[in-house]
Copies of this chain bind each other. A is one copy, B any other.
Amino acid sequence: MTSVEPNSLVRGAGVALWRQIEQAVEAEIAERRLAAGERLPTEHALADRFGVNRHTVRQALASLEERGLVRVEQGRGTFVHDDPVDYAVRKRTRFSETIRRQNREPNSRLVRAESRPAEAAIARPLGLRKGDTVILLETVGEADGRPISIASHYFPAARVPDLIAAYRAEQSITRALARCGVPDYTRKSTRVTARLPTAEDARALRLPRSRPVLVAENLNIDQEGRPIEISIARLAAERVQLVFEP
């Protein structure tokens, strides 16, 4: 199964047992003998294998988790951290394109589509007044079947009144906007922060409530420089890295 032997531990040699265990597991991960996403043996099994108490194993795993190499899930087990997806943020960032560039299979599905009055925080950057009608499209983005992001896209209804129908026909925001008379749009600014997920975020991302999400608020403008979209994406932080290259 694995090549870590009980006798690889040295007792009473100045290096704590749990640090030796930590290094042994770390080496297995570095050498890809434990693949990304793979489940480690149970704490009990590791304790047996190394001939130590389970507490000693737990200390090693806690340190590995703190350093971000593994992820411990109560009741399920301990897993090697998956490789995060790089999400490149450029002037023209399209979800499916950036995922495909990393040899992963993108998928996007609509979870909400409606018209509604805009809150102040949405209206202002769009150049509207609070209460003006905006169209909200909410989409969940996946890479290789793993949910990566849930994004709320807001558009001024006056500019693109038929956007919902267009989206249903095209299954793509870029193409739906084109059909509504907005052939191109680019990113004006991005604001990034992080928080713990709401119940809805956690459900859509299949993420424990205790694991943070990145929140990326994006303002997109059309060719004439007019605001055309605000998108607020919540990204599972442990599965994504936002990459900015000027």
List the interface of chain A (C-beta within 8 A of B): 66, 68, 84, 86, 89, 91, 187-196, 198-199, 210-214, 237-238, 240-246
Contacts and interface: CB of A to CB of B under 8 A. Distances in A.
Contact of A244 (B84, B89, B210): B89
Given A212-B212, A244-B244, A192 B189 contact: no
Work out how many copies of this chain go into the complex.
Answer: 2
Contacts of A191: 86, 241-244
A245 B192 contact: no
B244 A189 contact: yes
20 contacts: A68-B195, A91-B246, A187-B246, A189-B243, A189-B245, A190-B244, A192-B192, A192-B214, A192-B241, A192-B242, A192-B243, A193-B237, A194-B194, A194-B237, A195-B212, A210-B210, A212-B212, A214-B214, A244-B244, A246-B246
A27 to B, nearest CB: 12
A193 B240 contact: yes
Main SS of the interface on chain A?
A: strand
Given A245-B188, A245-B189, A246-B187, A238 B66 contact: no
A182 B84 CA distance: 34
Contacts of A187: 246
The residue among A91, A193, A199, A214 with the most chain B CB atoms within 10 A of its own CB is: A193
Contacts of A195: 68, 212, 237-238
